[in-house]
Chains A and B, each alone.
Chain A
Amino acid sequence: MNVLVPLLVVLPLVGAAITLILGRNPRLQVTISISTLSVVTGIAGILLFVVDTTGETAVVKVGGWEPPFGIVLVVDRLSAMMVVVSALILLGVLVFAIGQGIADGDRDTPVSIFHPTYLILSAGLFDAFIAGDLFNMYVGFEMLLAASYVLLTLGGTGARIRAGTTYIVVSLVSSLFFLAAIALIYGATGTVTMALLSTRIQALPLDVQIILCAALLIGFGVKAAVFPLSFWLPDSYPTAPAPVTAVFAGLLTKVGVYAIIRTDKLLFFAVPLAIPLMVVAFFTLVIGIFGALTQADVKRLLSFTLVSHIGYMIFGIAIGTQLGTGATIYYIVHHIMVQTALFVSVGLIERVGRSTSITHLGGLLKKAPFVAILFFIGALNLGGIPPFSGFLGKVALFEAGAESPNPLVYVLIGAGALTSLLTLYALMRVWNKAFWRPAADVKGYESPLLASVRESPDETGGVVTATLPKLMVAATTGLIALTVCLTVFAGPLFELSERAAVGVATPAEYIDAVFPGGAP
C-alpha cells in the first residue's frame, strides 16, 4: 500500500509533463489530465480506506533514507481525507473548465497552458498534505503557489495582471516568512522532520517556542486568509477565470488551515494559542462578513464570505478539544465543497446573465431555472440552513465550544451565529436580485428581441441567447450533489472526522508511525 503514497505527487507531475508536450493536441491533453486526476482520486480513496480501517499511518521513506536524514511522506486519516476531498474537487472543476474551454473557443482559458499548470497545482497540493517534513511542505506550497501565479494571470489581461501582482507579492512575502521560520526552527532543533520536531520542540524554552510558532503562523495565516492578513484575497481571486477562482477558493486557503492544524496540534501543542486564535477568529468572522454585505459583484461577495468562514475553522482549532478538532475537520470538508460549488455556479450565472454584478442581473429564475436551483442549494448550505452540512458543521463547532465554556467562547458562538445569518442575508440578496426579480425591473433593461433587432436590423434571424454547455452544468450538478452527500452521509463522515481528530490530537501516534523504535 505504501507504494501508492508517492504516486499522489508523481502522477500529476508526469501528467503535467506529458500535457505540456502535447500542447498542440487539446483533445489528448484533456484525456490525459482527466485520467491522471481520476487515477489519483482512486488512489486517494484506497489510501483513506486502508488507513482508516487498519488505523495505521502510512509512512514512506523517500529514497530509502531513514527519517531524520531523508524525507518522509506521512498519510494519516487527516491527510488522506484532505487528499480525497481535494482530488474530487480538482476533478469536478477540471470537467467544468473543459466544458467552458470548449464553449468559449479557448479564448479566455488557453488550454495548452491550463492543463499542465493545473496538474502541477494538484501535485503541490497533495505534496503539502502528505509531507512529513516541514521543508517538503514548503516545497509543496511553492509548487502550488507558482502554479497559482500562472493560473491567476492566465491570458495576461490588464485586470488579471493587476490582481495577480497583489497576489504574487503577498504570497512571496508569506513564503519568505515560512522559509525564515524553517531556518530558525532548524537552528533551534537541528531537524525539519515533523515527528522529530514534535519531541525536540518541547525541550525548548517557552519564549523561543512562541517566537518560532508565531513566525510559522504568520506565513500560514497569509495563505489561510486569517483576519489581519486577509486583505489580499477579495482583490485577487474574482478576476481569474471562473474555474480557477473556484479551485483557489476551495482549496488554497484550506492548505493554510491544514498547516495551522499541524502546527498547533503536532509541533507547538505546548504554546497557549487558544486566546490569540479566538480573537483572530472573531475578527475574521465579523469583518469578513461585513465586507460581503456591501458587495454588488457576486464573485467578490463570495470571496468575502470565504474569508469570513475561515474564522469558523480557526475557532474550531482554538477550542483545542478533540470534539472541536473533529468539528473543524468536518467543517473544512464542507467548506471546500460548498465554496467551490458556489463559485462554479457563479460561472454558470456569468454565462447566462453575461455579468456577475447583481445590479445588472435579473430574471435568471425564468431564464435558467436549473442554475437557480443549483445556486439556491449552495447558498442555503453555506448560510447554514438545517438539513445541510453547513448547519451540521456549525452546530458541531458550537457544541464543542460550549463544552469548554469560557466567556470568549460564548462571544465567538454569538459571532458565529451572527455570521451565519448575515451570510444567508448576503446570499439571499443575490438570489432576490439576480434570480427572483423579473428581468424587466433591471435598470437599463432591453428585451433580447429588441436588442437583436437593433444590433442587426437587416437579418431575419431569431434571438441569440447564451446556451449552457452540458458539461459545465453536469460538473456543477456533480459538485452540488457532493455537498448534499455531506448531509446524507453526515453520520459516517463525522465519525471519520472524530477518528482523524484523535490521531491529530495525539502526537505520540504520529511519532510512533515515523520512528517505530522511538524518536532518536
Chain B
Amino acid sequence: MSASLTLVILMAIMYGTGVYVMLEKSLTRILIGFLLVGNATNLLIFLMSGRAGDAPIIAGGATGETTVDPVPQVLMLTAIVINFGVTAFILALIYRSWWLANLGDEGDDVTVDDEDAIEAEEAGVYHASLDEDDEAVRAQLEEAADQTDDGVHP
C-alpha cells in the first residue's frame, strides 16, 4: 500500500496541534481541538484507501485495476456527518455555558419586576401609539379644515 506523504504529514500536524489545543481549559478551544483531531482521523481513514486512482464508477470505462478503494471514502463521509452533528451540539453547549457563566440561573427566569416593567413598557407603547393616532387624525382634520377654509376664502 502506498500513501501520499503530504497527507501523512498534514495528518500528523493536525493530530499534534489538535491534541495540544484540546488540553486547554476553554470549551471553545476544546471544540477547535476536537475538530482538528476529528479531521485528522478522517484523513487517516482516507489514507487507508492507498494510492490515488480513477473514480470508482464502473460505467466510466475504469477497471478494478485503476480505481481507488471507495470504502474508506464511505466511512469518512459517515464520520464527517457524525462530527458535524456533535459539533453543532457542542456549540449549543458552549453558548449555554457562556449564558450560565454570565447570567447564572437567574438569566432564565423572568422575575416579577421584569414582568411589571415589560407590562408597563407595553402599555406605554400602546398609549404612545394611541397618542400618535390621535395626532395624525387631528392633523388630517386641521388640514381638511384649512382646505375648506381656503375654498371659502380664496
Contacts and interface: CB of A to CB of B under 8 A. Distances in A.
B100 A161 contact: yes
Contacts of A173: 22
Contacts of A153: 93, 96
A368 to B, nearest CB: 30
Contact of A180 (B41, B100, B104): B41
B48 interface: yes
Given A150-B89, A161-B97, A168-B93, A186 B48 contact: yes
Interface string B89-121: 110010011001000110000000000000000
Contacts of A149: 86, 89, 93
A146 B100 contact: no
Interface string A52-73: 0000000000000000000000
Contacts of B34: 169, 172
Interface string B38-53: 1001001101100000
Given A179-B41, A179-B45, A186-B72, 19 more contacts: A135-B75, A135-B78, A139-B78, A153-B96, A156-B96, A158-B100, A158-B104, A161-B93, A161-B100, A164-B93, A165-B93, A165-B97, A172-B34, A173-B22, A176-B37, A183-B41, A183-B45, A190-B69, A192-B71
**Max chain A C-beta neighbours (<10 A), residue from B1, B47, B72, B97:** B97
Interface of B: 1, 22, 27, 30, 34, 37-38, 41, 44-45, 47-48, 69, 71-72, 75, 78-79, 82, 85-86, 89-90, 93, 96-97, 100, 104-105
Contacts, number: 70
Given A149-B89, A169-B30, A176 B75 contact: no
A169 B38 CA distance: 12
**Max chain B C-beta neighbours (<10 A), residue from A179, A182, A190:** A179
A142 interface: yes
Interface residues of A, number: 28
Contacts of A276: none
B105 A176 contact: no
Interface in A160-195: 161-162, 164-165, 168-169, 172-173, 176, 179-180, 182-184, 186-187, 190, 192
B85 A176 contact: no
Q: Is the interface of B mostly helix, strand, loop or mixed?
A: helix
A153 B95 CA distance: 13
A218 to B, nearest CB: 14
A164 B44 CA distance: 29
Contacts of B72: 183, 186
B89 A142 contact: no
A406 interface: no
A161 B45 contact: no
Contact of B44 (A161, A183, A192): A183
A157 interface: yes
